[in-house]
Copies of this chain bind each other. A is one copy, B any other.
Amino acid sequence: MKKKVLYIEDEQFLARIVKETLELKGYEVLHKKDGGRLIDLLQSFSPDICVLDVMLPNIDGYTLGSTIRNIYPQLPVIFLTAKTQTSDILKGFSSGGTDYLKKPFSMEELMVRIENQLKLAAPKEDASIETQEEVALGKYLFSPGRYELQIKGTIIKLSSRESEILSILCKHANKTTDRKKLLYAVWGDDSFFNSRNLDVYIRKLRDYLSQDDGITIITLKGKGYHFTVPGI
């Protein structure tokens, strides 16, 4: 998926070069000469990053930056400007900028700073499965955050318990998940009833996951489950 850059710049000549260079690098670029109807633009275009000139007709770049930061707390914003006074730079960062590049700059520097900002804004890797975006399970796509299991475009809605248990199994994909630990993780105890209860959920999950026979939840009696998933 192409990353989208919203680029606001009034100098036509520079704008053209930047836009073309970005497009050559594989970005989708929306260039505007001023910040009019910014909020609409953000919503319809939904950029991954904004590159703003500071000296603009009508509304200046800093104001636009603040607006963006206000509405999209996480969206990277790079300011471009000939203003080189320290106070301008400070203003840039306090207006929600995540980087500040002084004109004149080389195209390469802009490119690498854009890449860098996108990398920094990307979801942090070290997060546990709770915050994890999506996991590929064979032909399925599991989105713990959305409580969904997707296969060939059809979406299976999971309940919170189902999703919770599947998440735990995923954490031990192709290894064994201890039954007792699973029970404790989900219910906080390993009573007889919850043990039956777990059986019920395992059956449901097996059922949901039956469309890919590379995926199996193997029972290891007295131990737990071995969740086999191809290609993890």
A146 within 8 A of partner (CB)? yes
Tally of this chain's copies = 2
A residues contacting the other copy or chain, number (CB 8 A) = 54
Q: Does A166 contact B (CB under 8 A)?
A: no
Q: A93-B112, A123-B124 are in contact. Are A141 and B74 (CB under 8 A)?
A: no
Partner of A231, one of B46, B98, B174, B226: B46
Binary CB contact string for chain A from 202 to 223 against chain B (1 if under 8 A, 0 otherwise): 0000000000000010101111
A133 at the interface (CB under 8 A from B): yes
Give min CB distance, A110 to chain B, whole Å.
10
A159 CB contacts on chain B under 8 angstroms: 221
**Residue A177 lies at the interface, judged by CB distance under 8 Å to chain B:** no
**Which of A43, A132, A226, A231: most chain B Cβ within 10 A?**
A43
Given contacts A226-B147, A231-B46, contact A160 B93 (CB under 8 A): no
A146 contacts which chain B residues (CB < 8 A)? Answer: 216, 218, 228
Complex alpha-carbon distance, A141 and B42, angstroms: 11
User: Which chain B residue shows the least CB distance to A42?
Assistant: B136
Q: Is A89 an interface residue (CB 8 A)?
A: yes
In the complex, which residues of chain B have a beta carbon less than 8 angstroms from the beta carbon of A222? Answer: 160
Interface residues of A, dominant DSSP: mixed
Contact with B along A87-109 (1 / 0, CB 8 A): 00110011001110000001011
Which of B71, B124, B218, B223 meets A134, CB within 8 Å? Answer: B71
In angstroms, Cα B222 to Cα A160, docked, is 9
For residue A120, CB closer than 8 A to chain B, the reply is: yes
Residues in B neighbouring A197, C-beta threshold 8 A: none
Is the Cβ of B71 less than 8 Å from the Cβ of A135? yes
Chain B residues near A139 (CB, 8 Å)? 43
Known: A39-B141, A141-B43, A220-B160. A70 touches B133 (CB 8 A): yes
**Are A136 and B43 closer than 8 Å at their CB atoms?**
yes
Tell yes or no: A191 within 8 A of B by CB. no
Chain A 152-165, CB-CB to B under 8 Å as 1, else 0, gives 00000001100000
A89 touches B70 (CB 8 A): no
Chain B residues near A145: list those with CB within 8 A: 174, 226, 228
